[in-house]
Amino acid sequence: MEQEQSRALPPAILPRLVKTFANCAKDEGITAAITLLSLGYERPMTDTRTFTLYQEALADLTPGELGIAFSRAELEEARFFPPPARLRQLAGVETADQCSEREALEGLRWVLARIRNHGIEGRPKRLGEKRAAGRGEDGEYREAEYDYLPCPTTPVAIGFALSELGAGSVEAGVKLAALHPMLAEVAGNEAGSMGLTLAAIDKFEARWVAAWRRSNR
């Protein structure tokens, strides 16, 4: 397909872009980089209003960060030129909202792992093989038994988000989190009927992120 043609630029182009950011006005450098790099995408950038949007969104980035962002953008496989938010991520600089979403999803991964390992009730997780019966260091005889991993204490920020999700109840929030499509078999409910679709997962995660932001302002 036409948009899948190689976007590889001559080796001298990208170093020149980095020099451009260092040696001319930042807005001019951003416009020059977008104009050049977007040519290989399905919709090259030509609208001055679009250039202005990128300039404003990337105004706080240093010439070095801009060079990194556009260099990495050149290596990505996509039909359309990356939006400003993606360029900031490629530069290693996130907006407050991006940072909030990243932290929220890290929190959700913690919750899902906790439910997967300890169930909705937070039960200790049985580990490994059963230890053989025998006498301990104190000389007392002990029956064969398993070792257990206790359920971890919920971090404060995650607890706030679970409470928000559960309308004021952390326990209710955990039960709702267990409805995540990836945990249908763990929760022992009918959530599997949702299917492990990206749409279902995205919808759930958007609800979680919203609860996180409301509870951790």
Instruction: For residue 99, give Cα distances in angstroms to 12, 160, 184, 190.
Output: 34, 17, 28, 33
| Mean of per-residue pLDDT scores for the chain | 76
pLDDT band at 4 (very low <50, low <70, confident <90, very high): very low
pLDDT digits (tens, 9 = 90+) for 156-196: 888 898 998 888 888 998 988 888 877 755 444 444 444 44
Which tops the pLDDT comparison, 110 or 125?
A: 110
145-149 and 125-131 strand pairing: antiparallel
For residue 142, the model assigns a pLDDT of 67
In this prediction, residues 114-136 reach a mean pLDDT of 77
pLDDT digits (tens, 9 = 90+) for 139-165: 676 666 767 788 888 888 888 989 988
Q: What is the pTM of this model?
A: 0.50
Residues with Cβ within 8 Å of 63's Cβ and at least 6 positions away in sequence, in order, are: 18, 21, 22, 26, 29
Q: Please give the Cα distance from 51 to 35 (Å, whole number).
A: 9
For residue 37, the model assigns a pLDDT of 80
In this prediction, residues 79-107 reach a mean pLDDT of 79
Q: Is the pLDDT of residue 96 over 70?
A: no
In this prediction, residues 98-106 reach a mean pLDDT of 80
For residue 5, the model assigns a pLDDT of 40
**Distance from CA of residue 139 to its chain's centroid?**
51
